[in-house]
A and B are shown apart, each in its own frame.
Chain A
Amino acid sequence: AQTVTQSQPEMSVQEAETVTLSCTYDTSESDYYLFWYKQPPSRQMILVIRQEAYKQQNATENRFSVNFQKAAKSFSLKISDSQLGDAAMYFCAYNLRGAQKLVFGQGTRLTINP
């Protein structure tokens, strides 16, 4: 079965510090894309960052970066200089060629302490 596991149901971090959210996935495919989405209290899903599996270089978007370990099937999200607006549920997901869907993890609730 194709699955995504986020082992941390909840995380908290002090404002301005760095936090890493973990994600592992299980697929036998070699061609796929990985995503981190953020769901704030408004509940709209917002794309944070994406990574193409064939690229070894880790993706970065401002304060957000990933640590992609293809052999280990790991795709963690690092948030630097955490801000109060980063508080949300974070979902890891991947998109397989031909699957026509995103496979989501169960999410990590991130709290930012002022």
Chain B
Amino acid sequence: DGGITQSPKYLFRKEGQNVTLSCEQNLNHDAMYWYRQDPGQGLRLIYYSQIVNDFQKGDIAEGYSVSREKKESFPLTVTSAQKNPTAFYLCASAPSGSITDTQYFGPGTRLTVL
């Protein structure tokens, strides 16, 4: 089955730790995205990538980092510089990242800071 997988489903982080959220897709999509969702709010873009070895900051990139070494993988690291990381994180992909594309989403990772 083609789709997007995210792991883990739940993640707990202690203060001062870096953690990495995994996102993998087998849809052969060029573009991948990371969004953050807070309670009662819509999604906000953290980072996006339209091609391997290239990525761009979104609206709320501070305290986050990404890499895109393979087409199918786009991991997100939440660093200790992110002051309020508790949220639901969604990864998405799209065929090319053009305006005509529909973005398809993974099942999400719930991150909680202890």
Chain A residues proximal to chain B, CB less than 8 Å = 4, 9, 31-33, 35, 37, 42-47, 50, 52, 91, 93, 95-98, 100-102, 104-107
Contacts and interface: CB of A to CB of B under 8 A. Distances in A.
Given A32-B99, A100-B48, 19 more contacts: A4-B42, A33-B100, A43-B88, A43-B107, A44-B105, A44-B107, A45-B43, A45-B105, A50-B102, A91-B43, A95-B103, A100-B50, A101-B58, A101-B59, A102-B43, A102-B45, A104-B43, A105-B42, A106-B41
B90 interface: yes
A31 B99 contact: yes
13 contacts: A32-B99, A44-B106, A44-B107, A45-B92, A47-B104, A52-B100, A91-B42, A95-B99, A97-B99, A101-B58, A104-B44, A106-B41, A107-B41
B2 interface: no
Interface string B16-60: 000000000000000001000000111111001010000010110
A100 B74 CA distance: 16
A66 to B, nearest CB: 15
